[in-house]
Copies of this chain bind each other. A is one copy, B any other.
């Protein structure tokens, strides 16, 4: 029996899902606020952050209990599910611990920068049979979701080419970049997920190109800031992704699927719908600045989907497999960039199996 059909977890007597939030930095705090105030059927019951003042501030703001430790939070009776919003290097241990504690798990992406580590986390989830959802929030954006819907319902026919543009408004600091796993695991990973999401087809080969055009100092971290990646899917579809760490005009996030019968696309929204026309032409406002502006609706819908799935005993809509595949693609992209050749996913998996094998005794 798969975890997907596990009975719903115990939920509070009032029928609300009680969520413990681990990590209330920028993204964790946003999740906590959304969950507590705007998601019907759920509330934040406890929070924890290694930096106690942050936890205290959010606890006061939302009027929720602060746990002194992760262990305390995981042991609490009034926690049905956990939201893991800490730094990436802690995700695997927290997933394992939460699974062993029998909690439903929501984890921010990426789970890990290492396939073997990820597999360890996912094995723990599988063993515990707890519901698990990975935070690929863009799947819940109504425009991106409409692109997938147009594939699923046959409107665009068989997908042949996918174009994804994904640009941030500003590059992160070098210090962040050093531990990020590189642009493909930090940023493009969302696009790898999107490519799988809209085509419904696995990726078999990756060809990546990159350049340093924005922050030459990222060379110290062995990273690039500008990239174009081409994916080949199992069904023959080709996906082209372009990324930039700095789009002067805002947060540029577009997806297009071209198929045998038509195309579907999600265009960039503007900050509002006002325009001005003069002899100089037409002027319209900028794009939303960054992900909070663009994707709040998606973050909300992501939580609503998680809560609904748990309530109904269904598998949450973004699965462990959905969390794993983009990491493998990202590793292939990194190798392709370094070795200047297309890299197959089979090669990445073979290496992982071999690495895992050599560690087999302890696994």
Contacts and interface: CB of A to CB of B under 8 A. Distances in A.
B282 A286 contact: yes
A146 B249 contact: no
Given A272-B143, A282-B285, A260 B213 contact: yes
B143 A274 contact: yes
Give the one of A212, A266, A282 with max B CB within 10 A: A282
A155 B230 contact: no
A261 interface: yes
A209 B228 contact: no
Interface string A248-286: 111010000011111111111111111111111111111
Interface in A284-319: 284-287
A138 B211 CA distance: 28
B262 A248 contact: yes
Contact of A269 (B213, B240, B273, B340): B273
A37 B263 CA distance: 38
Given A242-B240, A248-B279, A274 B147 contact: yes
A94 B91 CA distance: 55
Give the one of A142, A146, A269 with max B CB within 10 A: A146
Contacts of A342: 209, 340-341
Interface stretch (A80-88, A157-165, A178-186): A157-165
A236 B249 contact: no
B341 A226 contact: no
A38 interface: yes
Contact of A268 (B211, B266, B273, B276): B273
Query: Across chains A and B, which 3 residue pairs bring their CB atoms closest together, nearest first?
Result: A146-B274, A262-B278, A142-B272
Interface of A: 37-38, 141-147, 150, 155-158, 160-161, 163, 165, 167, 207, 209-214, 226-228, 230, 232, 236-238, 240, 242, 244, 246-250, 252, 258-287, 340-342
18 contacts: A37-B37, A146-B272, A160-B214, A213-B236, A244-B258, A247-B263, A248-B278, A248-B279, A249-B279, A249-B282, A250-B277, A252-B263, A261-B279, A267-B274, A277-B286, A277-B287, A279-B286, A340-B341
